[in-house]
Structure 1
Amino acid sequence: MTLAWGFNHLDPAVAQTAYETLGAIRRGCPVARSGELDGFVLVTGYDEIREAAQAPERFSAYVDGLGASAVVTELREAVAPMFETDAEHHHQWRRALATFFTPAAAAAQQQYVRAICRETLQELIPRGAGDLVAGYTQQVPPLVIGRVLGLGELERAWLSEHVRALYGAQTLTDTQQIGRVYADFLLEQIRDRRAHPGSDLLSCMVTTDVDGRTTGEDELVKMTMLMVAAGHLTTADACATATLQLLEHPALRELVAADSGLLEAFVEELVRHEPAVAATGRTATTDTYLGRMPLSPGDRLLLAWGSANRDERHFADGDVFRLHRERTPTPHLGWGAGEHRCLGRHMARVEVRVMLEELLRAVPDVRLQPHANVRRTFGVIRGVAALPVQWSHR
């Protein structure tokens, strides 16, 4: 049966009760139509989301107005290689870039991540209070992805400042103005790599030919924007959500602080329970079915990954955060599934783990400020708007 739901993942009012709402929708109809945002199909069930993610011949990663295009609107007409392509075209790009995101490549960034964390925290500690989102979790990831791209130290600092300004802009005018400056900066870097390629990620993106052609500048700018967004937004929000989890559960925090070896399991369960990538889009390319829902070419789908990880058909207590959750034959989908499974997951694991480790080491008594009103965010990305905290002066 097809049910009509007025669900809009971009509505801020959805954020606080997102998973309660998605759970009710999932139990009623795991594939349902929403009349919001010009109409789309909301997919909330584990089996249905995994099926759509693993069938690129039926569901394309390119979708207008949902998913990636909702994160990067400055170049809406351009198609970002790898992020918005499928099948062999996507596979060629993924193979070309994979070497920069292996477990070994992620481990090689650990020392730099730790140094940036300590430097950032040293500036915060004397204040005794602050917002950990703006002052910490959003500070580290853009510098890391900037380094992977091959930017120099000053360029990384510029990137970090402008990326944070772009996604923190309060008006459409500010977003457009900052977006144009940011796009021009990336275009300059792309042209420089065309003339003087190196061994970094951006050089690889610029010099890789797929399907016998060189990728155009607009495509590369959009691809780089999405690469930075993937490296920055998802990691920053994952760390903010992880920090909130520890602040709201003192016993769990004491356990993790006493044994940093538990952080890997903590991060993995967090990604299952509250994945930073909340939803991504797909477009039906043929007449098909998903669940019992008939679909036509052009139908837009929204895959709600966090809902899949709480599907009672596979996770009996999926709404519960459980540090020592046993591995099951059913893997969680917090990193995605299919050919678009998160390429940077090893890097994200290292960053979030080290950021939490350094925070707990530097300010072991960090706590939410009295009467703090913590507001969660939801949309394409799941996170926390701000974390007003305090700690003892040291």
Structure 2
Amino acid sequence: MVAATAYETLGTIRRGCPVARSGELDGFVLVTGYDEIREAAQAPERFSAYVGGLGAAAVVTEMPEAVAPMFETDAEHHHQWRRALATFFTPAAAAAQKQYVRAICRETLLQELIPQGAGNLVASYTQQVPPLVIGRVLGLAELERAWLSEHVRALYGAETLTDAEQVGRVYADFLLRQIRDRRAHPGSDLLSCMATAEVDGRTAGEDELVKMTMLMVAAGHLSTADACATAILHLLDDPALRERVAADSGLMEAFVEELVRYEPAVAATGRTVTTDTQLGGMPLAPGDRLLLAWGSANRDERRFHDGDVFRVDRERTRTRHLGWGAGEHRCLGRHLARVEVRVMLEELLRALPDVRLQPHASVRRTFGVIRGVAALPAQWSRR
């Protein structure tokens, strides 16, 4: 029920108090306003990306003592890592993955789905593609990508803590072997770059690299899979819009960008206060933890007068939406994510032109660090 009404609840909080304290999760400060979230994201000297138990730290729990370079660091240390890895996530690098993404969708997944006539598009489609793509960027061989995909989906789909811990240990050991191999025999791939990069005069430790790789894979998998699932649900709920998008390839880019504003897959990330300061008029002390609700910022009435309305023809204004984040931690993989989601949607609409939700299907949204859809029970004509 919380997920179903998340933005209504956040809107009520935002309009009453855009920076509010909560006693949940050992205490944190919920930030829901656009200006306040952007200020916190753009001030790493006051608000650090390293946070215990919130945001990125809540996604990877197997190695709580390690600090993931780039993801959980700030200022010059973060900038050096970002510069080292940026070449793998440029628009050109993302475009170079387009053919691979299309082949996965068209020649493998959809060929299997078409004769079935029905299925869960989350488990059988949106969650299948992203881990294979990030595995390819990392430099994994084809069979290793398949292994990665299977275990990543098992980890984040685990129903018990015991199951998650077991899968997590096997997964971490796999990554550690890959990291050691890249250090011994570096190549031109992302993982080799991560394993051999010197930042502040040293290479990262093994635990740091394992956690960083886990976060890299989680960012590439969870956010993209959930963004695509949310996009599919939006199109299934609006047949007229689906027809427009399917008929006009140029409209797909605008659709995906508006979707990221309206329902960003990364719903919240954390920050830790490092100095006595204030935000939105609230005094803050070192150690206070913030939770930045990005989707709420994109609906803030002070910046978007109709932010609760999805408009594929929304005009771009000087106020940039925060669906990709803001500041030095703005999503590094956003160009790759755009390519993946666009191609996955294009291929789905081409292969299953009459795809629709199954009668009486109950679709449950999720909301936490990530915003998505638990399952998409759909049906289509067999052929």
Q: Percent identity?
A: 88
Gaps of 5+ in 1: 1-12
**Residue in structure 2 matched with residue 81 of structure 1 by the alignment:** 69
Looking at structure 2, the residues matched to 122 and 261 of structure 1 have their Cα atoms a distance apart, in angstroms, of 25
**2:203 aligned with 1:214:** yes
The equivalent of 1:271 in structure 2 is 260
Give distance in 2, aligned partners of 1:31 and 1:174: 37
Q: Deviations over 1:87-114 (max 9, x none)?
A: 0000000000000000000000000000
Task: Show the counterpart of 1:30.
Answer: 18
Opposite residue 376 of structure 2, the aligned amino acid is: L
Query: Over aligned residue pairs, what C-alpha RMSD do you find?
Result: 0.4
Displacement of 1:343 in angstroms is: 0.2
DSSP 3-state at the match of 2:378: strand
* CA deviation after TM superposition for structure 1 residue 14, in Å: 1.6
Which aligned pairs between 1:266-345 and structure 2 lie closer than 5 A?
266-345=255-334
Distance 1:138 1:393 in 2: 22
Equivalent position amino acid for 1:185 in 2: F
1:226 shift after superposition: 0.2
Unaligned runs of 5+ in 2: none
Q: Look up the match of 1:233.
A: 222
Q: What aligned pairs does 1:8-87 form with structure 2 within 5 A after superposition?
A: 13-87=1-75
Find the aligned partners of 2:172 and 2:250 in 1 and give their Cα distance: 40
Equivalent residue in structure 2 for 1:150, among 139, 143, 151 = 139
**1:329 Cα shift?**
0.8
Structure 1 residue 157: Cα displacement: 0.2
Q: Which amino acid aligns with 1:383?
A: G
Partner of 2:94: 106
1:139 aligns with one of 118, 128, 132:
128
Counterpart residue number, 1:94: 82
Alignment of 1:172-211 (within 5 A): 172-211=161-200
TM-score (ref. length: structure 2): 0.99
Counterpart of 1:385?
A: 374
Report 1:111-126 matches (<5 A): 111-118=99-106, 119-126=108-115
Which residue of the partner structure matches residue 129 of structure 1? 118
Give secondary structure in 2 for the equivalent of 1:186.
helix
Distance in structure 1 (CA, Å) of the matches to 2:143 and 2:373: 28
Q: CA deviation at 1:73?
A: 0.1
Of residues 353, 370, 375 in structure 1, which corresponds to 2:359? 370
Counterpart Cα distance in 2 of 1:249 and 1:317 = 19
Write out per-residue CA displacement over residues 37-59 of structure 1, whole angstroms, 9 at most, x where no aligned residue.
Answer: 00000000000000000000000
User: Which residues of 2 match residues 160-179 of structure 1 at below 5 A?
Assistant: 160-179=149-168
- Structure 1 stretches of at least 4 aligned residues deviating more than 4 Å after TM superposition: none
Q: Please state whether the residue corresponding to 1:15 is helix, strand or coil.
A: coil
Task: Give the superposition deviation at 1:261.
Answer: 1.4
TM-score between the two structures when normalised by the length of structure 1: 0.97
- Offset of 1:354 from its aligned partner? 0.2
Cα distance in 2 between the residues matched to 1:140 and 1:292: 44
- Name the counterpart of 1:3: none
